[in-house]
C-alpha cells in the first residue's frame, strides 16, 4: 500500500519532469548527496536547445543580486511542516469557504502548492516596502546563523528571524529581493491560467520588483503599473513631497481578461423605479451593420407621442397601434442602418429599459436606459476612495483604537477585486501579506453589495505587536489577532446591515455573506522522524516506535495533513462519526474517508470500502503486520476497486 509523503512538494523534481516532456534528450542521471541515483538536467544541452546560436557562455541581459541562486533553491526545497486547524479561533467552521492561515508565508505557499495549484483567481499583496525601517522575516537560506547574529544581533526565543532591514545593511536590496523572489515564484503556481496578481509597492523597490516580476511572470504578462495617489498633501522624503505609491499588475497568461469597473466619476442624472441610468441610442451607428447583412435587426417601433414620463421619455410598442408614430432605424449615407438588439430582446425590455426620446429637431430616437456605466480601470487612481487615510479611519471605526499602521483603503482592494474576479463563480482571492486583513474585509463587503460568492485566503505571520503600541495595550499580542478580530467585527457589521436593510416593494431579500473563516497554523510535521527514514531504522527500532505520529497530534490535525498531501482544498466540508468504536472522517461527501484509529477492525475497513470513496487513508500502525495490510488491499479490490488507498 502506498504511503503519503507528508512533506511539501519537491518542485525541483516536478520541474525536471516538465522539462523532460519537452526535451527528453537533456535528461541525465546524477547521484544525490546520499549516493542515490536521481534525474538531472544537462544544462549545456538545454541552453543549446533554446538558442539558434552557438552557446559559449557569453554575457546576456540578466537581473541578479547576491543570494538569488540560493533563493531559487529555497523556493523549490520541500519542507516537513503542516497546517494545524484551530477550530476554537475560527468562525462558522462547518460552513465557511474562507481561510485564515498563520505562519511565514514562504512555508504556507509551499504547503498550498498541491491543494491550490492553478486555482487562485487573484492575488493581492502589500509586502514590506523596504523603507529602511521595515521588519523583514529573514529566510534561513540567505545567511548562516552566526553571520546573522553578528550582522543583526536579533533573535527571539523561537529563533525567529525578524530583523530590521536598514540601509546600512550591505545587502539591503539583495535581502529584500531574496525575500520576494521565492514567494512570487510559488505564488505564480497557485494562480489560475486566467489569474492575475496585484502588488503594492513604492519608489524604494518598484524598479527591483518590476524586474523580478518580469522574470517570474514573463515580461509579456506585464499588465500595468498603477499609480495610486494615497496622500494628496504629500509626505516630505527630502526634495519632493511624495503623494503616491504603485500597484504592479501581472497576469499569469494571455488568457487573463480584466473586467471593466464601475465609473464612479460618471454619476447618473436620470432615475426611474429601478435606479440611475444614462441614455444610449439603440440604433447601431456603424453602417457596416445594415439591412443587407443584419435583416433581422431591421424592424419598426411605434411611439405614443401623448404619453411622456417624468424623464421626458415616450411610451413605445413593437406592435402597430393606430395613431402612434412608426419608426425604423435611420438611413445613413444611403444605407439603412439597424438596431443593436433583435426583436425578442427588445420585446423583453420595451418601456422598462428602452423608450423613445424626442430630439431638438422634433425627430425621435429609440434609446436604451444604460444602467451600469463601466469603464476600463485607469492607470492613475487619485480619487478620495483610495486615499490612505480612508484605510486608517475604517479600521479605527471598528476597533476604536489605532491598532495597525497604514492599512490599505478597503475601496482600493474592492476595485482590484472588481477588475479581476467574477462575482458569483466562487473565485478565491489570496493575500499572503495580509496585515490587518483589509483584503478579507473588501471581499466580504463586495459580496454584500452585489450578492457575490468570492472567497478569501489570508496569510499572516504572528508578528508580535510592540509593547508600547495601542494594539498591544488593547490586548492584541500579534498581528494575526488583529486580523482575525477585524474579520469578525467587519463581518458581523456587514451581515447586521443586510438584516436591517429596508426593502423596497418587490425587492428580494439580500442573502447573508459568508463571514466565517477556518484558522490554520503552520507547525512542524505531524510525523515522527522515523516516518521519513524508515529504511535507516532497524526492524527492532521500528517496533519501539509503535506509532510514527507525534503524540500531541489530533485526528483533525492528521486529516488536514492528509488534505494538504493529497492536494485537496482546505475548505472542504467534513463530518465525523463512530463505527464500531472507530472514528471515521468523511470529507466532501466521499472525496476522502479517513480513519486514524489504532487497531481498526476488518468490519470498519469493509464499511469504509462499501461506501466507495475516491480516496481512503488509514494509520500505518493500525495494521498488525503485512498480512493485515494485504487483507485491506484485497477488501478494497473487491468492494471499491476505484478507491485509492494510502496509509500514513
Q: Which is nearer to ligand SAM, 433 or 560 (CB)?
A: 433
3 state DSSP class of 108:
helix
Q: Which is nearer to ligand SAM, 340 or 390 (CB)?
A: 390
Nearest one of 62, 154, 119, 105 to 567, comparing CA atoms: 119
Least Å distance, CB 128 to ligand SAM, is 6
Q: Please list the alpha-helical segments (H only) found in 421-521.
A: 438-450, 470-473, 479-500
Least Å distance, CB 178 to ligand SAM, is 12
C-alpha 104/C-alpha 522 separation (Å) is 8
Which whole-number Å values give the CA distances from 366 to 328, 347, 359, 478, in the listed order? 9, 13, 11, 61
DSSP string, 579-597: ETTEEEEEETTTTEEEE--
Residue holding cell 496585515? 435
Helix pair angle (479-500, 438-450), 10° resolution = 10
Least Å distance, CB 469 to ligand SAM, is 13
Q: Which is nearer to ligand SAM, 367 or 479 (CB)?
A: 479
Q: Which is nearer to ligand SAM, 195 or 409 (CB)?
A: 409
Q: Please list the alpha-helical segments (H only) found in 134-224.
A: 145-152, 172-190, 206-217
Q: Which is nearer to ligand SAM, 129 or 250 (CB)?
A: 129
The answer to whether the CB of 96 falls within 8 A of the CB of 518 is: yes
Least Å distance, CB 89 to ligand SAM, is 17
Least Å distance, CB 639 to ligand SAM, is 45
Least Å distance, CB 460 to ligand SAM, is 5
- The conformational region for residue 272 under phi > 0 = left, psi -120 to 50 = alpha, else beta, is beta
335-336/354-358 β-pairing: unpaired
The answer to whether the CB of 226 falls within 8 A of the CB of 379 is: yes
Q: Give the nearest residue (CB) to ligand SAM.
A: 435
3 state DSSP class of 192:
strand
Least Å distance, CB 519 to ligand SAM, is 15
Q: Which is nearer to ligand SAM, 390 or 646 (CB)?
A: 390
- The conformational region for residue 385 under phi > 0 = left, psi -120 to 50 = alpha, else beta, is alpha
Nearest one of 493, 396, 387 to 436, comparing CA atoms: 396
Count of Cβ atoms closer than 10 Å to residue 50 Cβ: 10
DSSP string, 45-98: HHHHHT-SSPPS---------TTHHHHHHHHH----EEEEE-GGG-BSTTT---
Q: Which is nearer to ligand SAM, 129 or 623 (CB)?
A: 129
Least Å distance, CB 466 to ligand SAM, is 12
Least Å distance, CB 232 to ligand SAM, is 19
Burial 369-399 (b: 16+ CB within 10 A, else e): beeebeeebeeebeeeebbbebbbebbeebb
Least Å distance, CB 78 to ligand SAM, is 18
Q: Which is nearer to ligand SAM, 438 or 548 (CB)?
A: 438
Q: Which is nearer to ligand SAM, 373 or 462 (CB)?
A: 462
Q: Which is nearer to ligand SAM, 292 or 477 (CB)?
A: 477
Q: Rule CB under 6 A: which residues touch ligand SAM?
A: 104-105, 126, 128, 137, 404, 407-408, 433, 435-436, 438, 459-461, 463, 479
The answer to whether the CB of 83 falls within 8 A of the CB of 101 is: yes
Least Å distance, CB 321 to ligand SAM, is 59
For the chain, give the number of residues: 648
Q: Which is nearer to ligand SAM, 446 or 604 (CB)?
A: 446
Q: Which is nearer to ligand SAM, 459 or 490 (CB)?
A: 459
Least Å distance, CB 596 to ligand SAM, is 30
Long-range contacts for 42-51 (Cβ within 8 Å, ≥24 apart)?
46/19, 49/23, 49/25
Amino acid at each position: 500500500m502506498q504511503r503519503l509523503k507528508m512533506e511539501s512538494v519537491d518542485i525541483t523534481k516536478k520541474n525536471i519532469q516538465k522539462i523532460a516532456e519537452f526535451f527528453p534528450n537533456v535528461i541525465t542521471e546524477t547521484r544525490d548527496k546520499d549516493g542515490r541515483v536521481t534525474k538531472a538536467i544537462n544544462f549545456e544541452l538545454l541552453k543549446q536547445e533554446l538558442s539558434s546560436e552557438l552557446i559559449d557562455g557569453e554575457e546576456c541581459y540578466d537581473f541578479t543580486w547576491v543570494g538569488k541562486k540560493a533563493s531559487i533553491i529555497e523556493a523549490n526545497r520541500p519542507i516537513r511542516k503542516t497546517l494545524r486547524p484551530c477550530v476554537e479561533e475560527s468562525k462558522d467552521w462547518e460552513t465557511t469557504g474562507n481561510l485564515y492561515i498563520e505562519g511565514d508565508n514562504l512555508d504556507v505557499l509551499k504547503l498550498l502548492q498541491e491543494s491550490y495549484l492553478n486555482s487562485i483567481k487573484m492575488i493581492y499583496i502589500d509586502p514590506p516596502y523596504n523603507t529602511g525601517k521595515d521588519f523583514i522575516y529573514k529566510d534561513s537560506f540567505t545567511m548562516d546563523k552566526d553571520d546573522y547574529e553578528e550582522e543583526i544581533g536579533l533573535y527571539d526565543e523561537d529563533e525567529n528571524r525578524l530583523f530590521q532591514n536598514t540601509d546600512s545593511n550591505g545587502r539591503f536590496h539583495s535581502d529584500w529581493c531574496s525575500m520576494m523572489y521565492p514567494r512570487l515564484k510559488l505564488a505564480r503556481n497557485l494562480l489560475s491560467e486566467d489569474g492575475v496578481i496585484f502588488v503594492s509597492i513604492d519608489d524604494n523597490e518598484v524598479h527591483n520588483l518590476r524586474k523580478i516580476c518580469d522574470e517570474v511572470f514573463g515580461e509579456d504578462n506585464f499588465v500595468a503599473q498603477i499609480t495610486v495617489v494615497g496622500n494628496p498633501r504629500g509626505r516630505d522624503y527630502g526634495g519632493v513631497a511624495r503623494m503616491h505609491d504603485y500597484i504592479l499588475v501581472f497576469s499569469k497568461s494571455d488568457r487573463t481578461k480584466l473586467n471593466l469597473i464601475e465609473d464612479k466619476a460618471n454619476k447618473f442624472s436620470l432615475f426611474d423605479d429601478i435606479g440611475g441610468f444614462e441614455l444610449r441610442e439603440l440604433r447601431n451607428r456603424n453602417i457596416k451593420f445594415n439591412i443587407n447583412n443584419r435583416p433581422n435587426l431591421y424592424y419598426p417601433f411605434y411611439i405614443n407621442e401623448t404619453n411622456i414620463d417624468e424623464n421626458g421619455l415616450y411610451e413605445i410598442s413593437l406592435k402597430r397601434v393606430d395613431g402612434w408614430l412608426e419608426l425604423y432605424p435611420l438611413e445613413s449615407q444611403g444605407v439603412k442602418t439597424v438596431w443593436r438588439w433583435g426583436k425578442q430582446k427588445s420585446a423583453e425590455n420595451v418601456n422598462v429599459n428602452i423608450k423613445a426620446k424626442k430630439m431638438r429637431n422634433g425627430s425621435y430616437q429609440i434609446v436604451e436606459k444604460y444602467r451600469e456605466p463601466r469603464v476600463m480601470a485607469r492607470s492613475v487612481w487619485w480619487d478620495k476612495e483610495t486615499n490612505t487615510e480612508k484605510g486608517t479611519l475604517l479600521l479605527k471605526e471598528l476597533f476604536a483604537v489605532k491598532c495597525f499602521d497604514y492599512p490599505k483603503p478597503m475601496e482600493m482592494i474592492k476595485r482590484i477585486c472588481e477588475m479581476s474576479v467574477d462575482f458569483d463563480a466562487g473565485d478565491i482571492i489570496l493575500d499572503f501579506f495580509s496585515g490587518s486583513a483589509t483584503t478579507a474585509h473588501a471581499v466580504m463587503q463586495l459580496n454584500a453589495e452585489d450578492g457575490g460568492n468570492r472567497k478569501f485566503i489570508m496569510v499572516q505571520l504572528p508578528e508580535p505587536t510592540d509593547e508600547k503600541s495601542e494594539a498591544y495595550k488593547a490586548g492584541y499580542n500579534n498581528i494575526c489577532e488583529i486580523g482575525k478580530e477585524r474579520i469578525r467585527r467587519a463581518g458581523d457589521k456587514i451581515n447586521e446591515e443586510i438584516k436591517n436593510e429596508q426593502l423596497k416593494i418587490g425587492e428580494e431579500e439580500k442573502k447573508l455573506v459568508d463571514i466565517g473563516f477556518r484558522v490554520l497554523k503552520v507547525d512542524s510535521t505531524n510525523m515522527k522522524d522515523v516516518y521519513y527514514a524508515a529504511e535507516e531504522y532497524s526492524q527492532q527500532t521500528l517496533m519501539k516506535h509503535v506509532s510514527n505520529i507525534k503524540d500531541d497530534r489530533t485526528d483533525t490535525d492528521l486529516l488536514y495533513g492528509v488534505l494538504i498531501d493529497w492536494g485537496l482544498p482546505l475548505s472542504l466540508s467534513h463530518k465525523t462519526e463512530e463505527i464500531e468504536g472507530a472514528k471515521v472522517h468523511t470529507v466532501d461527501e466521499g472525496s476522502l474517508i479517513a480513519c486514524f484509529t489504532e487497531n481498526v477492525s476488518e468490519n470498519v475497513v469493509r464499511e469504509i470500502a462499501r461506501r466507495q470513496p475516491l480516496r481512503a487513508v488509514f494509520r500505518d500502525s493500525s495494521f498488525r503486520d503485512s498480512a493485515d495490510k494485504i487483507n485491506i488491499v484485497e477488501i478494497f479490490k473487491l468492494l471499491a476497486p476505484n478507491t485509492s488507498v494510502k496509509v500514513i
